Amino acid sequence: MAERKPRKDAARNRMAVLAAADALFAGHETPEDITMADVAAAAGVGKGTLFRAFGDRTGLLRALYETRLEPVREAVASGPPPLGPGTEPRRRVPALLDAVLCFKLDNRRLALALEEDGSGSPYRAEHYARWHGLLREALERVPGLTDGDFTAHALLAAVRADLVEHLAGREGVPREELRARLAEFVDRVLDGGPGAAGP
């Protein structure tokens, strides 16, 4: 059941591909004009190597994504408040969404590439399930809020890569303004609903 360690040329090539792909995606306007052949060439590697290491295009994207996501996941899993566990939900939910937004702002092209990659909708990705589960759990502990499940989906939809790209990229909304707008929206959702308007 234990996967044995890969040969060291394999490991080296894997790193080279990851680095090359990262640079390529960062440097190009749109993700879909970077071909697998481009990545292989930039990494100084054959296409066969690339596909053996990552399976397919989606696999490469996912590997890159997970790498970048690592620090955020760490902060969420065991960092200090307001992101870390043990934060009271009403405060943690906005922090989580802000973290997702910032992540997508910092990795626009990559997130975009992964989300619009045809193979399966974004909703099947396991990282989506993680965020959704986390959020739902937190939401269900917010007093007065019913249906944390749908609310989690809806809130995550507000930070989808292509929307972020549209606002931050095409419409040129500055980072801090976008964060503020999202924060306000999240606050509305958390404070609204039946009972909130009561005396």
Which member of 166, 172, 176, 179 binds its own copies (CB under 8 A)? Answer: 166
Binding positions for its own copies, 144-163, rule CB under 8 A: 145-147, 150-151, 153-154, 157-158, 160, 162-163
- Cβ proximity of 113 and 32 under 8 Å: yes
176 binds, among its own copies, DNA, none (CB under 5 to 8 A by kind): none
Which member of 121, 126, 172, 176 binds its own copies (CB under 8 A)? Answer: 121
Which stretch, 8-16, 62-70, 144-152, 159-167, contacts DNA (CB under 7 A)? 8-16
**Contact between 187 and its own copies per CB under 8 A:** yes
Nearer to DNA, 28 or 179 (CB): 28
Report how far residue 127's alpha carbon sits from residue 67's, in angstroms, rounded to the nearest whole number. 12
Least distance to DNA, CB of residue 54, Å: 9
22 binds, among DNA, its own copies, none (CB under 5 to 8 A by kind): none
91 binds, among its own copies, DNA, none (CB under 5 to 8 A by kind): none
Residue 156 to residues 32, 95, 122, 146, 164: CA-CA distances in angstroms?
24, 13, 11, 17, 11
Q: Cα torsion for 108, 156, 101, 145, to the nearest 10°?
A: 180
Computed on alpha carbons and rounded to an integer, the radius of gyration of the chain in Å comes to 19
- Cβ proximity of 111 and 69 under 8 Å: no
**DSSP codes, 26-55:** HHSS-GGG--HHHHHHHHT--HHHHHHHHS
Which member of 102, 116, 127, 134 binds its own copies (CB under 8 A)? Answer: 116
- Report residue 60: phi and psi, to 5°: -60, -50
Question: Which of 172, 166, 54, 61 has its CA nearest to residue 110?
Answer: 61
Nearer to DNA, 4 or 170 (CB): 4
- Where does this chain bind its own copies (CB under 8 A)? 32, 116, 118, 121-124, 145-147, 150-151, 153-154, 157-158, 160, 162-163, 165-167, 170, 181-182, 184-185, 187-194, 196-199
- Where does this chain bind DNA (CB under 7 A)? 4, 6-10, 12-13, 33, 35-37, 44-49, 51-53, 56-58, 119
